[in-house]
Amino acid sequence: MPRRGATLIGFVAIVTWAFLALLSTLAGAIPPFQLAAMTFLVGGLTGAASWLLRPGAIRSLRQPWPVWALGTAGLCIYHCLYFFAIQAAPPVEVSLIAYLWPLLIVLFAALLPGERLGAHHLAGAVMGLAGAVLIITEGGRVGLAGGIRPGHGLALAAAFVWAGYSVLSRRFGHVPTDVVAAYCLITAAATFLLHLAFETTAWPQTATQWTAVALLGLLPLGLAFYAWDHGIKHGDIMVLGAVSYAAPPLSVLILLLAGQGVFHWSMALACLLITAGAIIAAKDLVFRRRTPRDDARTAA
């Protein structure tokens, strides 16, 4: 698939992740490891179902240990940190702090072979970061009204973990996306064992909570992983990193519509900054015509 098409597939993940904070909140007070185990099981089984339609896909599971270590550690550690954070600090604040990872991806990706950090990539990422900060600080005031909590630190750690996983995955561009389903299933098993060791089981109590768990597994922790894996391996990772800042305003808007926050004028300005930054960072994707050199690069 052309580089542009792979990048567009990566955008699917960005859209679905905008629902992560809301669905995590609606799932209720389910212990973090248990919630991770439940949702990753759904996401993993969804991907594994496609193996039945393509018998040859199962052979893609023959991968060296670094591939398995990166995939399972990246998914498991990031989402455990995120789920702990979302229950230890206000959801809007956690969502936006965790979304430092797009800027980190843009910066880290410059270290990859064949990639170059352009001024428009950096400008777009910085504008996106400015928009996210504007939302957090509510137009200049410190928006962390309840003070710094452990959840904020966990959200920051999660940002570094996801950026590292995303950029390092580019080093394994030859590994088929089918393997992601196995990452999810292994993560489900690992978090289930952690749940048994450290938590008390608490099942969802309402139909809304059960629905939220199912949708978490199908979308942000299911479809999004497969789309993101394909996008970061075969698309423009710097564009994906910068455009990922479209998710914070979407996430905040969704939380506000669901009654999980209070609107402030700074949010509208932040959305404009983030949108403009995404367009600037993605200008190569949007405005540049494809050349034979691009085809050769994609084939390589």
In which domain, by residue range, is 229 found? 3-299
Condensed to tens digits (0 to 9), the pLDDT of residues 132-155 reads 677 666 555 545 555 667 888 898
Position 232 confidence tier, pLDDT thresholds 50, 70, 90: confident
Report how many domains make up the chain: 1
Position 299 confidence tier, pLDDT thresholds 50, 70, 90: very low
In this structure, are residues 234 and 299 in contact, taking their beta carbons and an 8 Å threshold? no
Q: Give the mean pLDDT of 33-61.
A: 88
What DSSP element (H or E) covers 58?
none
Share of the chain above pLDDT 90, in %: 25
Condensed to tens digits (0 to 9), the pLDDT of residues 175-227 reads 888 999 999 999 999 999 989 998 999 999 999 999 999 999 999 989 999 99
Chain centroid offset of residue 117 CA: 21
How many residues would you count in the chain? 300
How confident is the model at residue 295, as a pLDDT? 46
Token pair 């990922």 is at which residue? 244
How confident is the model at residue 296, as a pLDDT? 47
